[in-house]
Amino acid sequence: MITEGIVPGSATRLLSIDKCRPELKELYGVWQKLRQARRMPARREFDPASVRHLLPHLMLIDVFPEMARERRFRVRLHGTAQVQYQGTDWTGHYPHEKTDQAAADRLCAVGDHIVATREPWMSTGGLYWLPTKPYARFETILLPLSDDDVTVNMILGLTVFF
């Protein structure tokens, strides 16, 4: 299980929402309200218009748990701020199609952790998957979504670059 670093010295998991940026806290609050007493809300319950100001930073990731790692996570929505900062749109693509093998494997390992635990993931660090921008930092939250409250079939995420 991943608990501390994703890439040693590059990114660290945040274990409390209290230490996160306001944008992450806001999306987490929406997720909490939607799930009520359940483990996870369903995608159909999340209205992006309710967080319109966060849309440029949002992502939605389809989860295909039975597929090979290279085809397990597909980006359904990649916010415009993410596209602008990263210089490429991942919408409709798998991580292994848009970045190098090692970085894609690390991103998928985080996805696998979310699917297995059905718990949010928060992290901060340097943009290790964008080696040409080593000065840039990020903070992200990834929240599991489920149609049946058992199987994670989508991940709602928000990443802020600074």
Task: Report the chain's terminal Cα–Cα distance, integer Å.
Answer: 28
User: pTM here?
Assistant: 0.89
Instruction: Print pLDDT tens along the chain (162 aa).
Output: 343 445 555 678 888 999 899 999 999 999 999 999 999 999 999 999 999 999 999 999 999 988 988 899 999 999 999 898 878 899 999 999 988 888 788 889 999 999 999 999 999 987 766 666 655 788 999 999 999 999 999 999 999 988
Assigned CATH topology for domain 11-161: Beta-Lactamase (3.30.450)
Q: Report the C-alpha gap between 37 and 98 in whole angstroms.
A: 37
